Amino acid sequence: MIRYLLAFALFSASLDALLDNTGRHIYPDFAKLSNPVPVASDDTTQFWADRAQELDWFQPYHTVLSWNTPYARWFEGGTINASYNCLDRHLKDKGNVPAIIWSNELGDERILTYADMHDEVCRLANVLKSLGCKKGDYVAIYMPLTPEGIASMLACARIGAVHSVVFGGTGAGSLKEKINDAAAKILITADVSFRKGKQVPYKEVADTILPECPSVEKVIVLKRTEETAHMVAGRDLWYHELMAASSSDCPAVALESEDPLFVLYTSGSTGKPKGIMHTTAGYLLGAYSTFKWVFDYKPDDIYWCTADIGWITGHSYVVYGPMSNGVTQIVYEGAFDYPEKDHAWKLIEKYKPTIFYTAPTLIRTFMKWGEEGPNSHDLSSLRLLGSIGEPLNPEAWSWYNTVIGKEKCPIVDTWFQTETGALIISPLPGVTPLTPGSVTKSLPGYKVDILDEEGNPTALLHN
């Protein structure tokens, strides 16, 4: 059997190649994008240099790209900080604008502005520094989907520590493997999470493997219940106690463009999980740009991505992409069938998101639960739907379009991988003709082809 590899490369694509040659717009409301996708020349480096001007730099770069195949180095000479680009640069105009509207299945709710998140992140960054964490140190984050989990990532980015987020559903063995592989110095976790009315014991799981993780010096624990968690003296510290004694003054460190931002492990479906490292400037630019293009974000939009921060979608399209764009977003912790199977639709009716981005698995689950739930709630706030993960089959696409989108919301069925960091293939709303079951064309700035085992292009994309 011949195995095929999907190859991608940065390039400068003309937007004209993505237009329906009939000139027809399927969704008239999207005939003119709020954030026009750039039309590029054949000058690859200039295309991305122009995009990079939308980020905030401490020091300008002198070289856009140094490419010694297969190694690429972007924006050499420049210094930047991802946390600064997600928080500080929004404070003047959006300090009082909600950054995160958080809730869980228990009905708890918190709204944090960009100023609130800046305060949280700075305090936590100072906590990390007080525990001896410095630039280049690895911090493992084993957290529920909470504002503190997001703050943990941005606090690491603020001081140049490299975060390694481990999905909460990971077993103890996999957690140990990932902590040890990165030689993490600090673990940030919580006593519990909540799912389907039960407590998920994060700290208890961590305790079973920490004796076999010699690199871990300190464990920061977010307390979420009144129950007493097992705390090891000298090693385990309460999040709230550390934060109460910490200053909110923590300037972002100027990092080199190619300084590591995070390591994230692949699922391991083909063997042992492999750590994928993304560096700061190139990754941030990809997440920032593709979020803006694909979701056509408007200032009054409310965005909801259902991904966990333990996956690349959570990194790029819950944290770095949306927050670098100054987005107001919904973050939800818990199952979607608790207490009832219409919980997702209740949240949409309550918080009125305009953009809903979820996984095909969840869409197919919604289908099984039936149309009564969505039809009994007001989903009229939605203007754009998205899908990410495994392929979205045509039947599910059509259900999503008809039942949830009411045939008025374009569906951006997107594709990328942990390795790419940012979206590579996706429709552009109102521009790209939509085909159920297809992620359509590569985005401007990327060229996609399918190669055989010898690295030769095939005709699969052209038939």
Indicate the pTM of the whole model: 0.91
Question: Is there a domain that residue 94 lies in?
Answer: no
Q: Is residue 312, in this structure, part of any structural domain at all? A: no
**Number of domains comprising the chain:** 2
Please state which of the ranges 16-25, 107-116, 412-421, 444-453 shows the lowest mean pLDDT. 16-25
Say if residue 141 is in the same domain as residue 30.
no
- Confirm if 364 and 335 have CB atoms less than 8 A apart: no
Q: Are residues 38 and 132 in the same domain?
A: no
* Separation CA 268–CA 274 (nearest Å): 7
State which of 244, 270, 298 marks the end of a domain: 244
- Alpha carbon distances (Å) from 125 to 82, 263, 318: 13, 18, 20
Together in a domain, 237 and 358: no
**Residues whose CB is less than 8 angstroms from the CB of residue 333 and which lie 6 or more positions away in sequence, other chains included:** 102, 103, 104, 105, 144, 145, 146, 193, 194
Burial class, 217, CB count within 10 angstroms (exposed 0-12 / middle 13-18 / buried 19+) = middle
Each residue of 226-283: pLDDT tens digit?
Answer: 988 999 999 999 999 999 999 999 999 999 999 999 999 986 666 677 899 999 999 9
Question: pLDDT digit string (tens) for 404-455?
Answer: 999 999 999 999 999 999 999 999 998 999 999 999 999 988 878 888 888 8
Residues 229 and 345 both lie in one domain: no
d(CA 336, CA 246): 36
Helix (H) or strand (E) holding 449: strand 446-451
Q: Tell me how far the alpha carbon of residue 404 is from its chain's centroid.
A: 23
Per the rule left: phi > 0, alpha: psi between -120 and 50, beta: everything else, 348 is alpha
Q: Do you find a cis peptide bond into 360, omega within 30 degrees of 0?
A: no
Looking at the domain assignment, is residue 314 inside a domain?
Answer: no
Question: Is 322 a member of any domain?
Answer: no
Residue that the structure tokens 């700290």 belong to = 203
CATH of the domain at 117: 3.40.50.980
Structure tokens at 460: 């699969």
Could you identify the residue written with the tokens 């689950």? 365
CB atoms near residue 46 (< 10 Å): 13
Section 178-192 average pLDDT = 97
Closest CA to 419 of 270, 262, 268, 277: 277
Residue 21 and residue 64 in one domain:
yes
Domain shared by 74 and 134, yes or no: no
Assess whether pLDDT exceeds 80 at residue 201. Answer: yes
284 and 384 share one domain: yes
Verify that 116 and 79 share a domain, yes or no: no
Rg (CA), the chain: 22
Return d(Cα 304, Cα 364) in angstroms, integer: 18
Rounded CA-CA distance 449/446 in Å is 10
Q: Let me know whether 297 and 408 are in one domain.
A: yes
- Domain with 127 in it: 112-244
**Omega of the bond prior to 339 within 30 degrees of 0, cis?**
yes
Look at residue 14 and tell me if it is in a domain.
Answer: yes
Q: Is residue 10 part of a domain?
A: yes
- Domain contains 376: yes
Mean per-residue pLDDT for 200-217?
Answer: 97
SS3 61: coil
DSSP string, 371-431: SHHHHTS--TT--EEEE-SS---HHHHHHIIIIISTT-S-EEE-B--TTT-S--B---TTT
Residue pair 312/264 in contact (Cβ under 8 Å)? The answer is yes
- pLDDT per position as a tens digit, 379-399: 999 999 999 999 999 999 999
Inside any domain, residue 158: yes
Q: Are residues 367 and 441 in the same domain?
A: yes
Identify whether residues 211 and 70 lie together within a single domain: no
Mean pLDDT of 134-140: 98
| Sign of the torsion angle spanned by Cα atoms 99, 283, 193, 247 | negative
Q: Check which CATH number belongs to the domain holding 286 and give it.
A: 3.40.50.12780
Q: In this structure, are 291 and 417 located in the same domain?
A: yes
Q: At 293, list the tokens.
A: 């293009």
pLDDT digits (tens, 9 = 90+) for 321-340: 999 999 999 999 999 999 99
Mean pLDDT, the chain, whole residue set: 90
